[in-house]
Structure 1
Amino acid sequence: MVADTHLIRTDLCTAEIYIDVFNKRLRVDDIRGNIVEAIEKAEELVHVHQAEKLIVKGRHEQYEKLVEHGFQCEAVIDRYFLGSNLYFFCKYYTNERRTSNQWFQEDQIVKQVLAIEGQKQIISPADCQMKKCSYKDVDALASLYRKVFQIYPTPLNDPQYIKKTLDEGTIYYGFFSNGEIISAASAEVNSLYKNAELTDCATLPEHRKHGLMKFLLEKLEEELKSSGIYCVYSIARSLSFGMNAALHQLGYTYRGRLMNNCYIFDKLEDMNVWVKNLSKR
């Protein structure tokens, strides 16, 4: 279920490709050299693995070549590459994957979210304690994710996988009540480009009324800023009003939607991209 990494290296180009069999997609990172040859090599792997979607993390100077080869820009992450923008270019290989039946409904959710003014004042419940998670919490984290998500793009229901992400520098914070984790979120840090994705957001249904996720995301932002990381982003389920509203109220900017991006919650879903610049006053 975890994506495998494949390195493309020819006389003309180098690129990293993540082969995500579970989500039937491939993602190309860090294309250097001849972009046309890199795309051709990536599409060969698409057919080998019968992928339905190819994603390229493109740069501004690659925009025209990607459009020429059938890609469409779906979202942007500002300042991702040490200050320059990342463009999510996508190409589809089946009509079903290229079609979203929820698109209009998701447009309405974004419209409603963007109409919300200001940050809602919320108070953390007195019987909860927020703390940074460590190796001793991996079983409890896996249990939380297992309860909240019937399906998830990565195997967060496996304690060993969570331990591996901790080894790789991912930061987890959680709310604990009576010794149980009731809400958690993480920051997946890209040390090369100095950015982070706020992800793995989950709260048990009976505790969602308290708005715990906003506290967790703000705490993660504080830790990232202290490490000199100012580009943060999050990719949220387009059908989740609550998660999109939380990001908007925390000052994140909506930057596009990735169609049929991954299997999450209970099906293949579109995902909204939200971005924040932590260096702003």
Structure 2
Amino acid sequence: MYDVTLTLSGALLQHGHNNSRVYLMDIHDADPLTLIGEMSSLAKKNGYGKIFTKVPKSKTEPFLQAGFSREALVKGLYGGQENGLFLSKYMNPSRANEENSLQYAKVLTMAQEKKYATLAPLKKGTKIRLCTLEDIPRMSYIYKQVFSSYPFPIDDPSFIEASLKGSTVFAGIEKNGMLVALSSAECNFAQDHLHAEMTDFATLPDFRGNGYASHLLRFLEHETKKRGIKTAFTIARAISKGMNITFAKSGYVYGGRLKNNTDIAGTIESMNVWYNDLTEKAV
């Protein structure tokens, strides 16, 4: 069962037992004090271990006073002007304990040492392009092969179709005419947001090691910037050397780590936040 998306006091939330959390995705015009109480009740009712929020800096004080703590920051997340903060509160204190904290630190150090590394061009017979509705069967196949579990039904054709018809931009890499790698940019085109989450990176096992994720990221930056997006960010698995290196190589800034945050690949993992100001980057 995937997380349920709902509107609560005007704010957009997700919650569910797989991630064992309440996730405040967009506060909109909701009153923080009212919302905090309602989210706490929802978390307690379902026995969730964490409340996870993404909010503008100007609205963080009520959360901090209610016991939330800052885990990450993205500069210019809101309209390229106001910083966004990821704040969390642990309903179950053990949820904040990270068994792999030393490994996370090693991965981060390794990634930051690769900052601005040169990206080799795609090899002959390989091209990158936007995905269309005709690609859905192949996209579904790739995601099924790569992810044993995911926070939402990324391999469901109907979910992919709805995303393509909405505000998500998908890109793929073809090898000899066949899609072998994918990624997406979940865009928010509201004028007080104008950000995109770079996510859903997947490369079939036989085609890894070619820098496809970096090429897809650069391509999506270009496509989203053309559409008016000002800030790109990602929430990447803290344990993944490849993905953290990909973002560091592309000039992204490390914004912090979300402890034991997301159910992916069969277990709840900590996630690293990286961000980039597309208004200053030539893409």
How far off its partner does 1:31 sit? 5.5
Contact 1:195 1:231 in 2 (8 A): yes
Q: 1:73 to 1:117 in 2, by over 3 A?
A: closer
Tell me the secondary structure at the aligned position of residue 116 of structure 2: coil
Tell me the secondary structure at the aligned position of residue 51 of structure 1: coil
Aligned residue number for residue 72 of structure 1: 69
Percent pairwise identity: 29
Tell me the secondary structure at the aligned position of residue 32 of structure 1: coil
Which of residues 27, 39, 42 is equivalent to 2:39? 42
Superposition TM-score, scaled by structure 2 size: 0.92
- How well do the aligned residues superpose, as a CA RMSD in angstroms? 1.7
How far off its partner does 1:67 sit? 2.0
Aligned residue number for residue 20 of structure 2: 24
Aligned residue number for residue 116 of structure 2: 118
Aligned residue number for residue 210 of structure 2: 210
- C-alpha distance after superposition, 1:19-53 (max 9, x if no partner): 23432211223153642222011111112232221
Equivalent positions of 1:139-154 (< 5 A) are 139-154=137-152
- C-alpha distance after superposition, 1:120-175 (max 9, x if no partner): 23121212222211111111111111111111111112111111111212111111
How far off its partner does 1:117 sit? 4.5
Is residue 2:178 matched to residue 1:183?
Answer: no
Moved more, 250-259 or 25-34: 25-34
| C-alpha distance in 2 between matches for 1:31 and 1:49 | 24
| C-alpha distance in 2 between matches for 1:169 and 1:125 | 30
Structure 1 unmatched ranges of 5 or more:
none
Aligned residue number for residue 83 of structure 2: 85
Is residue 2:16 matched to residue 1:15?
Answer: no
Is residue 2:256 matched to residue 1:256?
Answer: yes
| C-alpha distance in 2 between matches for 1:86 and 1:118 | 24
| C-alpha distance in 2 between matches for 1:34 and 1:150 | 38
Q: 1:36 to 1:148 in 2, by over 3 A?
A: same
| C-alpha distance in 2 between matches for 1:21 and 1:179 | 40
| C-alpha distance in 2 between matches for 1:150 and 1:80 | 31
Contact 1:17 1:42 in 2 (8 A): no
How far off its partner does 1:56 sit? 1.8
Moved more, 150-159 or 244-253: 150-159
Q: Which amino acid aligns with 1:55?
A: F
Aligned residue number for residue 109 of structure 1: 107
Q: 1:121 to 1:129 in 2, by over 3 A?
A: closer
Moved more, 205-214 or 247-256: 205-214
Aligned residue number for residue 222 of structure 2: 222
| C-alpha distance in 2 between matches for 1:203 and 1:33 | 39
| C-alpha distance in 2 between matches for 1:65 and 1:213 | 38
- C-alpha distance after superposition, 1:168-212 (max 9, x if no partner): 121111112244321111010112211101100011222222101
Aligned residue number for residue 165 of structure 1: 163
Tell me the secondary structure at the aligned position of residue 154 of structure 1: coil
Q: Which amino acid aligns with 1:50?
A: G
| C-alpha distance in 2 between matches for 1:146 and 1:190 | 26
Moved more, 47-56 or 216-225: 47-56
Q: Of the two structures, which has the highest relative contact order with CA contacts closer than 8 Å and spacing of 6 or more?
A: 2
Aligned residue number for residue 197 of structure 1: 197
Which of residues 57, 62, 69 is equivalent to 1:60? 57
Q: Which amino acid aligns with 2:135?
A: D
| C-alpha distance in 2 between matches for 1:148 and 1:8 | 33
| C-alpha distance in 2 between matches for 1:144 and 1:34 | 41
